[in-house]
Structure 1
Amino acid sequence: MSHDTHTSTSPAVFRIVDLFAGPGGLDVAAEALGHQVTGIEWDDNACETRAAAGMDTFAGDVRDYRAMDFPCAQVLTGGPPCQTFTVAGHGAGRRALDDVLEYIAQLHDAVRSKSTPWREIFRTWRKISEELRRKAAEADVVKAAKREDEAVRSVTRKAARKSLAEHGCSTEEIEFALKTLEAPLGLAHRDADVKNLFDALVSLEKSLDAHRARLEELGDERTGLVLQPLWWVIERSRRPGLDPYEAVVLEQVPAVMPVWKEYEKVLAALDYRTKTQMMHTEAFGVPQTRRRAVLMARYKTDVRELEETHHRYRPGGVPAASLDADRADTPLWGVDEASVGRRKKRRPKGPWVPMEAALKEARRIARETAPDLELPDRPAFTVVSNYGTGGDPAARGRRDHDAPSSTVTGKVSRNRLVHKGTNTDLPRFELAEAGVLQTFPVAYPWQGRDRSQQIGNAVPPRLALHVLLNVLEPKLSEEKVDARLDQAVEKLENWRLPSAPARIRRRKDLKGHPLNGG
């Protein structure tokens, strides 16, 4: 496999393997750019969506596959789950992050010297994997014991509640006693059964605290998943008979940026040039404020930082563009502004895209690409978040129709919509609308259960377009960059449902697959 930089006037077609592929945010963007993508995804619901969208998919845990299973893949992408890092700096999240950074340091030590034999590198990975498996197995045992204690506690609390009521205690007295785990003093002295019940509750609570502490020490089994992309890169770079990936693209929530920074040290030892960047999605034409930590890497080729194509959202700041504006001058989704070295003239930054504009455009496109889909023509509205702000559950965040959406999460279907300036309810977002706010095509076929969660977990395809174009075609001229992105945006916006769903593959289907050499 050649790793020369592609400089031909016609874009090269890359073969991509996408780990933790989700419902296909990066995949649909890659296909709009003309690349071929195979995703690996463990969630059956996301696999159903991918199949309906025609995405090539292997179902199962990424840990059940190996880089050597896909020797013909030229590019590795992925967004490993990292819920354990979202509270980094606070207890379990900080410990999980520290553990992962230590594992990365061990892998860095193993590959630092090019003369280190593969068996020594693999031995390091096997040691890490066995430690993670041991922790996961012990965690399962602790979780089972915790569930048993919780069941006993529930029965004991019920018995204590009944006993206190029989002794004439009021509801308030009972609730206070169960909260403090202290029986009314007089009853504890007079009635041995009451005393024994509360002694048992105190003992159970201590046992549960010990279980919680141990589980925090052992960590979440998902913590180790963030190591998988790095190991795949190492295996392709150092395992005899395999060639390095030409490019690597990884993205996740901001809390994972320290992991990507450590990744960079290992990738540098493997002859990759890297760039990490915290990206604001609305600054790349996504009608939503969301931050993503992105790692971009090319084998022996420099990677540029992506310049923002739209203004960042600030309440009362740059107004949104009108859909009636000349799209050739002010495109709805914008194009990539490349760095000074390759672009002498730049389009000025476009305004951030509001929800209203994105949904209006989606209704127009749906008439052609999904005529059976009925989307409401909404009046001026305000979105009331399902989440509280500032630690106050009652303080619900609010965004008006002429602003970008707040971060789309798995709870997007629970957000209230009200007439602007009132509390009069409007119909909540349809799934297709929530997908549009993530910049999925309006015709995208959300399937299975937990569809809102699938949408919330996905990488916005418009952001993926910018990242992939920057990494995979770094030497395009200004005119070529504009043309490639404009073409891809149009293709993405006008995406249509395939005539037949794709088959969901399993590990047994590897033989004969194009990325397996078939």
Structure 2
Amino acid sequence: MSHAKTAPPSPAAIRILDLFAGPGGLDVAADVLGYRSTGIEWDKDACETRAAAGMDTFHGDVREYSAALFPHAQVLTGGPPCQTFTVAGHGAGRRALDDVLRYIERLHTAVREDGAEWEDIVRTWQGISEELEEKALEAEKVQAEKREVEALRSVERRAIKKSLQEHGSSTEDIKRILKALRASKEFDLEDANLKQLFEEYSALGTRLNSLKERLEKLGDERTGLVLQPLWWVIERSRRPGLKPYEAIVLEQVPAVMLVWKRYAKVLATLGYRTRTQLLHTEAFGVPQTRKRAVLMARLGETDIPEVTETHERYRPRTVPASSTTASDQANTLPWDIEVEGLDGTPKEAWVSMEKALKNARNIAPDLPDRPAFTVVSNYGTGGDPGARGTRDHDAPSATITGKVSRNRLVHKGTTTDLPDDSGRFSFAEAGVLQTFPVAYPWSGKDQPQQIGNAVPPRLALHVLRHVLEPELSEEEARARLEQAIVDLENWQPGEPVVVRKHGQWKGHPLTGR
């Protein structure tokens, strides 16, 4: 970055624009580091949380805005929604990923073409946008037809159930037949009316599968959203009258790493040094196992090394079923311990749920003080929906998702639920497991979903400091992070802010109006 070439400026001088900002995971990290950030977020509930937390926010779809509207932003960050890439079944995720990679290559060709004018680059982007819009409109029509077929199937299913009851089939037989019907199994039926119902149901199923395949090929709007940060970088780099961002930080689920690697090639053409890295959150002091694919970029000639892990990684180890003796149990740890990093520097132990919640109780004494507990996940494990995953209190949490409030807490070593007032994580506690301050003012609806979707602020501390402060020595960086972590835990919201809308530019520091 340019500021690394001279004396480092006050962090407050660095202005961050955060796309798909969510409830403020990256922004609260930026705040404790002393940076000023502005987020763009479409979800009204997340905007309510941001407003209560004092996070500067524009509400709306990122596609309604543009890089040119915020010419004074020096750093671009964001995590575009990319769940499409992890969709199972019929290769939908892979097709969506391939589409995005092809679009990125088209943009790359446009920006690296000798003598390409800004208007030529814009035409390429417009062509991509028009294709995505056409697909979106077609998908809406197919989705409407799919809903109609699903409704017809429900009617046929009820008619089949009623006919089976009239023919004297038992309740168990009806359940078995309806289950087989969902699996599209054929039946040899003598009753003409029932046979017709089965045939009609089967035909609707064939039609429904065809519609699903069409939808998968068309993709959805998230295919276009993942391209937005790249286009913003291109606009700032190539549009006359604008200056390039000094730095870029993007993060998402591991499946998006291929996108970031392709992004990196375009950014290199635009003059950036880049680094992609898969980060394990517990290796940075987050009391939760989660993996994030991160793209880091800086304008200029300063290379970006890997972000150094500060804590051990959590590696669960299952006790073999044959290990029944006391010595076997004693010699089999529930985790593997990584004693030191690649450079020989000792790492801290990963942070357990118990430790994180205890630290939070020191700040907010009204939080529950539980006995040893086990978290029983709302999700299945090993491909079996009924086999709920578990994690004990003295280990990091499993990945916090939007269903965190459905997880049960039971007494460790039993299936007995903890009392009602402590049998589930509160929103504040779920936030703490994401490393939000215990005082973070969660607001609006579906707060668990907001929490689950957020960037863990402690992870963001490491990445932002690493990218934006390359001039610090190892000792200075370590001290900076230690103080920031203390400040993050003790952070308190300031005055609530009013969320702005598109067009409300007056007086905003990033717009210059």
- Which stretch of the first structure deviates more once superposed, 455-464 or 470-479? 470-479
Aligned length: 485
Taking a change above 3 Å as real, the CA distance of residues 470 and 7 of structure 1, as seen in their structure-2 partners, is farther
Taking a change above 3 Å as real, the CA distance of residues 380 and 6 of structure 1, as seen in their structure-2 partners, is farther
Amino acid at match of 2:371: P
Q: Tell me if structure 1 keeps the 8 A contact 2:41–2:57.
A: yes
What are the residue-to-residue correspondences of 1:18-57 with 2, within 5 Å? 18-57=18-57
User: Which residue in 2 is equivalent to 1:234?
Assistant: 234
Amino acid at match of 1:495: W
- Give, in whole Å, the separation in 2 of the partners of 1:87 and 1:154: 25
1:185 to 189, 199, 204: 189
Q: Deviations over 1:119-148 (max 9, x none)?
A: 111111101111001001000000001111
Give the root-mean-square deviation of aligned CA atoms: 2.2
Taking a change above 3 Å as real, the CA distance of residues 176 and 423 of structure 1, as seen in their structure-2 partners, is closer
Q: Tell me if structure 2 keeps the 8 A contact 1:318–1:351.
A: no
CA drift at 1:421? 1.5
CA drift at 1:175? 4.2
Q: Deviations over 1:153-183 (max 9, x none)?
A: 2122222322332233333444455414656
CA drift at 1:384? 1.4
User: Which residue in 1 is equivalent to 2:307?
Assistant: 306
Taking a change above 3 Å as real, the CA distance of residues 198 and 318 of structure 1, as seen in their structure-2 partners, is closer
What are the residue-to-residue correspondences of 1:25-174 with 2, within 5 Å? 25-87=25-87, 91-113=91-113, 115-174=115-174
- Give, in whole Å, the separation in 1 of the partners of 2:58 and 2:385: 40
Q: Tell me if structure 2 keeps the 8 A contact 1:320–1:352.
A: no
CA drift at 1:441? 0.2
- Give, in whole Å, the separation in 1 of the partners of 2:194 and 2:486: 72
- Which stretch of the first structure deviates more once superposed, 283-292 or 7-16? 7-16
Q: Tell me if structure 2 keeps the 8 A contact 1:318–1:352.
A: no
2:389 to 391, 397, 412: 397
TM-score normalised according to structure 1 size: 0.89
Q: Does 1:462 align with 2:458?
A: yes
CA drift at 1:88? 7.3
- Give, in whole Å, the separation in 1 of the partners of 2:139 and 2:394: 48
User: Which residue in 1 is equivalent to 2:294?
Assistant: 294
CA drift at 1:6? 5.1
What are the residue-to-residue correspondences of 1:438-449 with 2, within 5 Å? 438-449=434-445
Taking a change above 3 Å as real, the CA distance of residues 364 and 247 of structure 1, as seen in their structure-2 partners, is same
1:360 to 354, 358, 361: 358
Q: Tell me if structure 1 keeps the 8 A contact 2:57–2:500.
A: yes
Taking a change above 3 Å as real, the CA distance of residues 438 and 6 of structure 1, as seen in their structure-2 partners, is farther
Q: Does 1:474 align with 2:478?
A: no
User: Which residue in 1 is equivalent to 2:268?
Assistant: 268
- Give, in whole Å, the separation in 1 of the partners of 2:240 and 2:291: 38
User: Which residue in 2 is equivalent to 1:421?
Assistant: 413
Amino acid at match of 1:505: R
Q: Deviations over 1:240-264 (max 9, x none)?
A: 1111000000000100000000001
CA drift at 1:512? 3.1
Taking a change above 3 Å as real, the CA distance of residues 9 and 265 of structure 1, as seen in their structure-2 partners, is closer
Q: Tell me if structure 1 keeps the 8 A contact 2:58–2:502.
A: yes
Secondary structure of the corresponding residue to residue 507 of structure 2 = coil
- Give, in whole Å, the separation in 2 of the partners of 1:9 and 1:351: 33
Secondary structure of the corresponding residue to residue 274 of structure 2 = strand
Secondary structure of the corresponding residue to residue 509 of structure 1 = coil
CA drift at 1:484? 1.9
User: Which residue in 2 is equivalent to 1:349?
Assistant: 347
Taking a change above 3 Å as real, the CA distance of residues 483 and 9 of structure 1, as seen in their structure-2 partners, is farther
- Give, in whole Å, the separation in 1 of the partners of 2:308 and 2:165: 67
Percent identical? 68
- Give, in whole Å, the separation in 2 of the partners of 1:38 and 1:433: 26
Segments of structure 2 that go 5 or more residues without pairing to the other structure are 317-332
User: Which residue in 2 is equivalent to 1:332?
Assistant: none
Q: Tell me if structure 1 keeps the 8 A contact 2:39–2:58.
A: yes
Amino acid at match of 1:472: L
Q: Tell me if structure 2 keeps the 8 A contact 1:320–1:354.
A: no
- Give, in whole Å, the separation in 2 of the partners of 1:250 and 1:279: 12
- Which stretch of the first structure deviates more once superposed, 204-213 or 87-96? 87-96
Q: Tell me if structure 1 keeps the 8 A contact 2:69–2:511.
A: yes
Taking a change above 3 Å as real, the CA distance of residues 212 and 471 of structure 1, as seen in their structure-2 partners, is same
Q: Tell me if structure 2 keeps the 8 A contact 1:287–1:404.
A: yes
CA drift at 1:320? 12
Q: Deviations over 1:341-399 (max 9, x none)?
A: xxxxx9631111111111111110225xxxxxx20111111111111111012222221
Secondary structure of the corresponding residue to residue 144 of structure 2 = helix
- Which stretch of the first structure deviates more once superposed, 421-430 or 448-457? 421-430
- Give, in whole Å, the separation in 2 of the partners of 1:166 and 1:182: 21
User: Which residue in 2 is equivalent to 1:247?
Assistant: 247
Amino acid at match of 1:473: E
- Give, in whole Å, the separation in 1 of the partners of 2:263 and 2:39: 22
- Give, in whole Å, the separation in 2 of the partners of 1:444 and 1:470: 25
- Give, in whole Å, the separation in 1 of the partners of 2:89 and 2:171: 40
User: Which residue in 2 is equivalent to 1:329?
Assistant: none
- Give, in whole Å, the separation in 2 of the partners of 1:355 and 1:319: 17
- Give, in whole Å, the separation in 2 of the partners of 1:144 and 1:78: 32
- Give, in whole Å, the separation in 2 of the partners of 1:130 and 1:434: 41
Q: Tell me if structure 2 keeps the 8 A contact 1:41–1:61.
A: yes
Amino acid at match of 1:365: I
Secondary structure of the corresponding residue to residue 227 of structure 2 = helix
Q: Deviations over 1:296-326 (max 9, x none)?
A: 00001321211111111124347799xxxxx
CA drift at 1:99? 0.5
Amino acid at match of 1:481: A
User: Which residue in 2 is equivalent to 1:491?
Assistant: 487
Q: Deviations over 1:434-453 (max 9, x none)?
A: 11111000000111111111
Q: Does 1:514 align with 2:506?
A: no
Segments of structure 1 that go 5 or more residues without pairing to the other structure are 322-336, 341-345, 368-373
Q: Deviations over 1:192-211 (max 9, x none)?
A: x4343333222211211111
Secondary structure of the corresponding residue to residue 249 of structure 1 = strand
User: Which residue in 2 is equivalent to 1:5?
Assistant: 4
